[in-house]
Protein backbone atom coordinates (compact mmCIF):
# COMPACT_ATOMS: atom_id res chain seq x y z
CA UNK A 1 0.00 0.00 0.00
CA UNK A 2 1.31 3.43 -0.94
CA UNK A 3 2.08 5.83 1.88
CA UNK A 4 -0.54 8.59 2.04
CA UNK A 5 1.83 11.39 3.04
CA UNK A 6 5.11 11.51 1.09
CA UNK A 7 8.19 11.43 3.32
CA UNK A 8 9.22 14.88 2.07
CA UNK A 9 5.88 16.34 3.24
CA UNK A 10 5.73 14.80 6.72
CA UNK A 11 7.39 17.75 8.46
CA UNK A 12 5.19 20.41 6.85
CA UNK A 13 2.07 18.28 7.39
CA UNK A 14 2.93 17.87 11.07
CA UNK A 15 3.63 21.62 11.37
CA UNK A 16 0.28 22.39 9.75
CA UNK A 17 -1.45 20.07 12.21
CA UNK A 18 0.15 21.88 15.14
CA UNK A 19 -0.67 25.28 13.62
CA UNK A 20 -4.33 24.38 13.08
CA UNK A 21 -4.60 22.88 16.56
CA UNK A 22 -3.04 25.94 18.19
CA UNK A 23 -5.27 28.26 16.17
CA UNK A 24 -8.39 26.35 17.19
CA UNK A 25 -7.39 26.30 20.87
CA UNK A 26 -6.39 29.97 21.02
CA UNK A 27 -9.47 31.12 19.11
CA UNK A 28 -11.77 29.02 21.30
CA UNK A 29 -10.22 30.30 24.54
CA UNK A 30 -10.04 33.95 23.53
CA UNK A 31 -13.48 33.97 21.92
CA UNK A 32 -15.12 32.22 24.89
CA UNK A 33 -13.83 34.91 27.24
CA UNK A 34 -14.89 37.75 24.94
CA UNK A 35 -18.36 36.28 24.41
CA UNK A 36 -18.86 35.52 28.09
CA UNK A 37 -17.64 38.86 29.41
CA UNK A 38 -18.45 41.26 26.56
CA UNK A 39 -20.81 39.56 24.11
CA UNK A 40 -18.31 39.75 21.21
CA UNK A 41 -16.65 37.04 19.15
CA UNK A 42 -12.95 37.21 18.26
CA UNK A 43 -13.84 38.23 14.71
CA UNK A 44 -16.13 41.00 15.95
CA UNK A 45 -13.38 42.23 18.28
CA UNK A 46 -10.94 42.17 15.37
CA UNK A 47 -13.33 44.28 13.26
CA UNK A 48 -13.67 46.87 16.03
CA UNK A 49 -9.89 46.87 16.51
CA UNK A 50 -9.17 47.30 12.79
CA UNK A 51 -11.67 50.16 12.53
CA UNK A 52 -10.15 51.85 15.59
CA UNK A 53 -6.75 52.00 13.87
CA UNK A 54 -8.06 53.80 10.79
CA UNK A 55 -7.78 57.62 10.70
CA UNK A 56 -11.54 58.11 10.24
CA UNK A 57 -12.39 54.92 12.16
CA UNK A 58 -13.86 53.57 8.94
CA UNK A 59 -13.02 51.07 6.19
CA UNK A 60 -14.65 49.97 3.00
CA UNK A 61 -16.61 46.82 3.75
CA UNK A 62 -14.81 44.89 1.02
CA UNK A 63 -11.41 45.81 2.50
CA UNK A 64 -12.59 44.83 5.97
CA UNK A 65 -13.80 41.53 4.55
CA UNK A 66 -10.30 40.80 3.20
CA UNK A 67 -8.59 41.84 6.43
CA UNK A 68 -10.65 39.49 8.61
CA UNK A 69 -10.74 36.80 5.90
CA UNK A 70 -14.52 36.61 5.63
CA UNK A 71 -16.60 36.41 2.49
CA UNK A 72 -18.50 39.56 1.53
CA UNK A 73 -21.73 37.95 2.77
CA UNK A 74 -20.00 36.89 6.00
CA UNK A 75 -18.78 40.41 6.74
CA UNK A 76 -22.23 41.78 5.91
CA UNK A 77 -23.86 39.44 8.45
CA UNK A 78 -21.28 40.37 11.09
CA UNK A 79 -21.60 44.09 10.45
CA UNK A 80 -25.39 43.80 10.58
CA UNK A 81 -25.05 42.31 14.09
CA UNK A 82 -22.60 45.03 15.14
CA UNK A 83 -24.87 47.72 13.68
CA UNK A 84 -27.86 46.29 15.57
CA UNK A 85 -25.93 46.73 18.83
CA UNK A 86 -24.78 50.24 17.88
CA UNK A 87 -21.07 49.39 17.75
CA UNK A 88 -20.67 50.26 14.07
CA UNK A 89 -22.71 52.16 11.54
CA UNK A 90 -22.89 52.15 7.78
CA UNK A 91 -21.17 54.93 5.86
CA UNK A 92 -21.58 55.79 2.21
CA UNK A 93 -19.18 57.03 -0.44
CA UNK A 94 -20.19 60.35 -1.97
CA UNK A 95 -18.43 59.50 -5.27
CA UNK A 96 -19.75 55.94 -5.70
CA UNK A 97 -23.09 54.81 -4.28
CA UNK A 98 -22.03 51.15 -4.63
CA UNK A 99 -19.29 51.59 -2.03
CA UNK A 100 -20.22 51.31 1.63
CA UNK A 101 -18.09 51.75 4.70
CA UNK A 102 -18.14 50.30 8.18
CA UNK A 103 -17.69 53.11 10.70
CA UNK A 104 -16.80 52.57 14.34
CA UNK A 105 -19.21 54.43 16.64
CA UNK A 106 -18.37 55.98 20.00
CA UNK A 107 -20.15 53.02 21.61
CA UNK A 108 -17.95 50.67 19.57
CA UNK A 109 -14.79 52.45 20.72
CA UNK A 110 -16.01 52.30 24.31
CA UNK A 111 -16.71 48.56 23.98
CA UNK A 112 -13.25 48.01 22.51
CA UNK A 113 -11.65 49.82 25.46
CA UNK A 114 -13.74 47.76 27.90
CA UNK A 115 -12.64 44.49 26.29
CA UNK A 116 -8.97 45.23 25.70
CA UNK A 117 -7.42 44.76 29.17
CA UNK A 118 -8.88 41.29 29.76
CA UNK A 119 -8.33 40.27 26.14
CA UNK A 120 -4.64 41.17 26.18
CA UNK A 121 -4.20 39.59 29.61
CA UNK A 122 -5.63 36.37 28.16
CA UNK A 123 -3.23 36.56 25.19
CA UNK A 124 -0.35 37.02 27.62
CA UNK A 125 -1.52 34.03 29.67
CA UNK A 126 -2.03 31.78 26.64
CA UNK A 127 1.08 32.74 24.67
CA UNK A 128 3.40 35.02 26.63
CA UNK A 129 3.58 32.76 29.68
CA UNK A 130 4.23 29.63 27.59
CA UNK A 131 6.87 30.98 25.23
CA UNK A 132 10.02 33.02 25.78
CA UNK A 133 10.35 36.45 24.20
CA UNK A 134 12.68 34.95 21.59
CA UNK A 135 10.20 32.17 20.78
CA UNK A 136 7.36 34.68 20.43
CA UNK A 137 9.48 36.79 18.07
CA UNK A 138 10.45 33.74 16.02
CA UNK A 139 6.87 32.44 15.90
CA UNK A 140 5.59 35.85 14.86
CA UNK A 141 8.11 36.05 12.03
CA UNK A 142 7.32 32.56 10.76
CA UNK A 143 3.56 33.06 10.91
CA UNK A 144 3.95 36.42 9.20
CA UNK A 145 5.65 34.69 6.28
CA UNK A 146 2.79 32.19 6.06
CA UNK A 147 0.20 34.96 6.31
CA UNK A 148 1.73 36.52 3.21
CA UNK A 149 0.67 33.46 1.18
CA UNK A 150 -2.55 35.31 0.33
CA UNK A 151 -0.46 37.75 -1.69
CA UNK A 152 1.59 35.10 -3.47
CA UNK A 153 -0.72 32.39 -4.70
CA UNK A 154 -4.17 31.42 -5.82
CA UNK A 155 -6.00 28.11 -5.80
CA UNK A 156 -4.34 25.80 -8.26
CA UNK A 157 -0.81 27.22 -7.96
pLDDT tens for 15-74 read: 999 999 999 999 999 999 999 999 999 999 999 999 999 989 999 999 999 999 899 899
Residue ranges of domains in the chain, CATH in brackets: 31-149 (1.10.10.10)
d(CA 40, CA 48) in angstroms, rounded, equals 10
Strand 100-104: give its sheet, edge to edge: 58-60, 100-104, 88-92
- The mean pLDDT value of the chain amounts to 89
d(CA 48, CA 104) in angstroms, rounded, equals 7
Residue 96 is predicted with a pLDDT of 81
The backbone torsions φ and ψ at residue 89, rounded to the nearest 5 degrees and listed phi first, read -135, 165
Residue 57 is predicted with a pLDDT of 97
Amino acid sequence: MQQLIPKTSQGPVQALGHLLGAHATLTRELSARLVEEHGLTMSEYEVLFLLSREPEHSMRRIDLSREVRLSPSGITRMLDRLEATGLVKKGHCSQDARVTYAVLTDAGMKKLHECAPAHYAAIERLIGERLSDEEVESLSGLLGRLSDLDDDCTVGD
